[in-house]
Structure 1
Amino acid sequence: MSRTPRLSRIVGKGLIKSYGPTVALRGVSLTIELGKLLVIEGANGSGKSTLLGILGTVIKPTAGTVVYEPLGDDLLAVRAEIGWVSHETMAYPDLSGRKNVELAARLVGLDADEAWKRAATRFELGPFAERPVRTYSRGQRQRIALARALTHEPSLVLLDEPTTGLDKAGVSRLLAVVDEEVARGAAVVVVSHEPELFRERAGARLVLDRGRVVEAVTG
């Protein structure tokens, strides 16, 4: 399978998010281009994960807008173009890795068996695929999470702290996947406590401090 991304770019304007008296984002604006990696940096509490949640359509901003060109406000169409790996991999623990990937494929209307074969080859899932996910190491869970998120070749790939708990080999594999997704033409957005791992690959960087953009670098 090889599909053309349906998004052309994503534009956020004046994004504000308040949780009661706590303001997580204070007027953040950004543009995300297809075929590039955006790295979002900042200390804990700077608003990185909130911004990622807004981009992923699971958090509604208090004010401001995100425009997913050219899909507009068609939320179902936008969500069909998003692949997300959160800090917690969110795989079903009592299902096998294979069943997790096949379920993700069916949910987006793909042939489960063909999707599994592609994922198993790309992410080297065969050695542990039939075991329940609850028995997996952090690195193995990450590989399943990536396989599920990328099954449908999304236009926008969101990665929240993707290197947490990975060994050197796991980090290398993750970086290779990021490179492959960018080369495919997807927009990849990474929030990481180890941004130096991604900077040389980044087409753009956004640095947040207490909910505000303090540095924006485009490449």
Structure 2
Amino acid sequence: MALLSANHLKKSFGKKIAVKDISLQIDPGKFIALLGPNGAGKSTTISMLIGTLAPDSGNINFDAKIPNAQNYHRHIGVVFQESVLDGQLTVRQNLTFRAKMYKNITTHRVEDVLNEFQLLTVADQKYQTLSGGQRRRVDIARAILHRPALLFLDEPSTGLDIQTRNMIWQILNRLRQNEHLTIVLTTHYLEEAENADFVYIIDDGHVIAADTIPKLKATYAPTRLTLITSTPDLVRKNLPADLPITRTKTGLSIALSNSMASIPILKLIRPLISSFELRNGTVDDIFLTLTGKEIR
């Protein structure tokens, strides 16, 4: 049974239609990525899913709860693009005040979360004095303080260095494993979606693709074997006729289902090539194939 489902969501702002028709399903314990170019409708969709925006039409269900109900918000955590914490309060004060909004969150829980996110050394500093990476860790600590079943991360690592991003994901992966946390992510760092259990790609207010990463790669970003040769026609004659082969400036390019499929091909034409390159498809390739290469 789905933890959260959304059916035929639509949302307009005046004459601008931000979300035209979006349906999705999020199963318990899964890591779901929502990807799309700027202006695709991702943030509007997230806002409807967390209950800060009401859809013009369509419906959302979270474990039989509606998004604007108080008990719905007890079971979700949200990390917004912009922080909602008080810059004049210390890290510990921000988390303590947040804890008081829920029942049965003890002081020990605040300390445990500070320790989990490696924030004890800055716990008594004002939030506004922290570095960007430290602030983001506090933002996520605040969002999981009440042990939500579902965590929304809206562009959580924008502007962060790779070390901080790695640390944050190590913590989130531990929480997924230990507390069965479900995560919904929007991000422009597409490599963060590589480990997602399921991906929705949104463009122009619609879901244009929805599947697992391996299946999306097989369809939109196959492994590609590039052969460097001065005799491309001869090489082609020595290969099976049903291979998807295209000409390049330096030889031939072959789309494959996986990297292992290159071995018998290379054995067939080894004397006829001077070099080769094998490249696995990435989430970036999927994204560009589906949404185009133009800057928006």
Larger deviation, residues 41-50 vs 177-186? 177-186
Q: Which of 150, 166, 191 in structure 1 is aligned with 2:160? A: 166
Give the superposition deviation at 1:196.
1.7
Deviations 1:140-192 (A, max 9, x none): 11111111100111011000101112112210112113312322222200000
1:69-108 alignment, distance < 5 Å? 69-71=63-65, 75-108=69-102
Deviations 1:94-122 (A, max 9, x none): 00001011111111123442122111110
1:57-206 alignment, distance < 5 Å? 57-71=51-65, 75-183=69-177, 184-199=179-194, 201-206=195-200
- Judge conservation of contact 1:8–1:70 (CA < 8 Å) in 2: no
Give the superposition deviation at 1:216.
0.4
Task: State how far apart, in whole Å, the 2-side matches of 1:153 and 1:190 are.
Answer: 17
Report the counterpart of residue 9 of structure 1 in structure 2: 3
Task: State how far apart, in whole Å, the 2-side matches of 1:168 and 1:57 are.
Answer: 31
Q: Which of 40, 63, 66 in structure 2 is aligned with 1:46? A: 40
1:205 aligned counterpart, secondary structure: strand
Structure 1 letter corresponding to 2:155 = E
Structure whose alpha-carbon radius of gyration is higher? 2
Deviations 1:47-100 (A, max 9, x none): 001111111111111110001123357711111111000011211100000101
Shift in CA distance, 8/155, structure 1 to aligned 2, threshold 3 Å: farther
Shift in CA distance, 53/73, structure 1 to aligned 2, threshold 3 Å: closer
Deviations 1:22-59 (A, max 9, x none): 01111100000111110000000000011111111111
Runs of 5+ consecutive residues of structure 2 not aligned to the other structure: 214-296
Give every structure 1 segment of 4 or more consecutive aligned residues whose post-TM-superposition deviation is greater than 4 Å.
none
Structure 2 letter corresponding to 1:169 = Q
Runs of 5+ consecutive residues of structure 1 not aligned to the other structure: 1-6
Q: Which has the higher contact order (CA 8 A, sep 6+)?
A: 1
- Judge conservation of contact 1:39–1:195 (CA < 8 Å) in 2: no
Shift in CA distance, 213/73, structure 1 to aligned 2, threshold 3 Å: closer
Shift in CA distance, 132/197, structure 1 to aligned 2, threshold 3 Å: same
- Judge conservation of contact 1:67–1:73 (CA < 8 Å) in 2: yes
Aligned residue pairs, count: 212
TM-score, normalised via structure 1 length: 0.92
- Judge conservation of contact 1:103–1:112 (CA < 8 Å) in 2: no
- Judge conservation of contact 1:181–1:188 (CA < 8 Å) in 2: no
Task: State how far apart, in whole Å, the 2-side matches of 1:215 and 1:104 are.
Answer: 37
TM-score, normalised via structure 2 length: 0.68
What is the Cα-based RMSD across aligned positions, in Å?
1.6
Structure 1 letter corresponding to 2:19 = L
- Judge conservation of contact 1:10–1:69 (CA < 8 Å) in 2: yes
